[in-house]
A = this chain, B = another copy of it.
Amino acid sequence: MSSNLFSFVAGTAGDWRIARIERVAGGGLPAAERLAVLEGPLEPSAGWHWSLRGFVSNVRYATRAETRELRARQPPLARPSATCAALIPIRKSAQWWELAQDERRAIFEERSRHTAIGLDALPAVARRLHHSRDLGEPFDFLTWFEYAPEHEGTFERLLERLRGSEEWRFVEREVDVRLVR
């Protein structure tokens, strides 16, 4: 499998302590103590409660201008100061996936300002997007965020703005997993 594949394994082991798991829409996820973020396919091991997989891929909506701005401003993962993290798995509706590329782009950016909202949280919030739908997983996307405790407000505002957008009307399942290192 690709080296772009990541597994998020919740159970009794892992670098991250799970502070809370909140169901936002649709079915939630079971409680667990810790989360491990593993590169590559899941290595079966004892003590895990649930696991989710996704791959990092090419950009699907961003234009050259947006990509240039994102790359200039987005911070790397694993900054020592970023001791807070969030894993936000979402699944979009069948209606979303039946839309053509120009229709999805128009909702995603022209009407919902997804990239613009994300840029406003940079460089405070680091982010990595994982695609899951094409693997037959229960969610379509797993987004992983990292930030320092003093930027929690910036992160909450980011989520609030995205959840209030037209794009989010197509989100039929969402779970919010908060973690501390």
Identical chains in the assembly: 2
Interface size on A, residues (CB 8 A): 28
Q: A103 near B1 (CB under 8 angstroms)?
A: no
Q: Interface with B: A62-70, A73-81, A119-127, A143-151, which one?
A: A62-70
Q: A2 near B136 (CB under 8 angstroms)?
A: yes
Binding site for B on A (CB under 8 A): 1-5, 55, 57-64, 66-67, 97, 99-103, 105, 131, 133-136
- Interface contacts beyond A57-B133, A59-B100, A63-B102: sample of 17 additional A-B pairs, CB < 8 Å, sorted by A: A1-B135, A2-B133, A2-B134, A4-B134, A4-B136, A55-B134, A59-B101, A60-B101, A62-B100, A62-B101, A63-B100, A63-B101, A63-B103, A64-B100, A64-B102, A67-B100, A134-B134
